[in-house]
Amino acid sequence: MLTIGPLMIEHRLIEKGIEVLRQEAERIAQGGEVDPLIIDILVDFIRTYADRTHHGKEEDILFLDLAQKDLSAEDRRVMQELVDEHAFARKTVAELVEAKERCLSGDKRAISRAVEKMASLARFYPDHIKKEDKVFFPASLKYFSREEQDAMLEEMREFDRRMIHEKYKAVIQRLESRER
């Protein structure tokens, strides 16, 4: 569990964030007002933490290293499924943002679309995480020596160190470039 330990720890926080998302979708579905700030915070959490940070380490480190190995057909298939699922999550988050923007412009029909996208993400993530935790991550360890796992773990730590700077550099650039 050396290399995948940090990824599994990240899953626990993602699960908590997704539960908040599920509850928010349920609140809106029961007649509550769309709170664009809550949606923006949840979208930022998913995009920055779940996708860019967590999925980034999977795709840019673990999956790239695994692609160099002689994977079984089943492990290669599951890895491709995970990549496809990451793309699904990105697309669904973008659709949620678009629905939220339509809500803000007064389109009442977009409320159900926002709820649908939130509920879709709330259904998606638990199954995705379970597949990684119970199936793919344990299977992936057999392809790496202890030294390779240690090197990958260090690469993941460096990835995390760069992320905070990447995020807030982009925030400031967006603020600087906004129309005044």
Model confidence at 180: pLDDT above 80: no
Express as a percent the part of the chain with pLDDT over 90.
83
Question: Could you tell me the pLDDT band of residue 165, with boundaries at 50, 70 and 90?
Answer: confident
> Looking at residue 149, which CATH number applies to its domain?
1.20.120.520
32 φ, ψ (degrees, to nearest 5): -70, 155
Domains in the chain: how many in total? 1
Give the tens place of pLDDT for each residue, 123-132: 999 999 999 9
Answer with the residue of higher pLDDT: 61 or 180.
Answer: 61
Q: Which long-range contacts (CB under 8 A, 24 or more apart) does 162-168 make?
A: 163/48, 163/52, 163/53, 163/56, 166/52, 167/48, 167/52
Task: Specify the higher pLDDT residue, 95 or 169.
Answer: 95
Strands (DSSP E) found in the chain: none
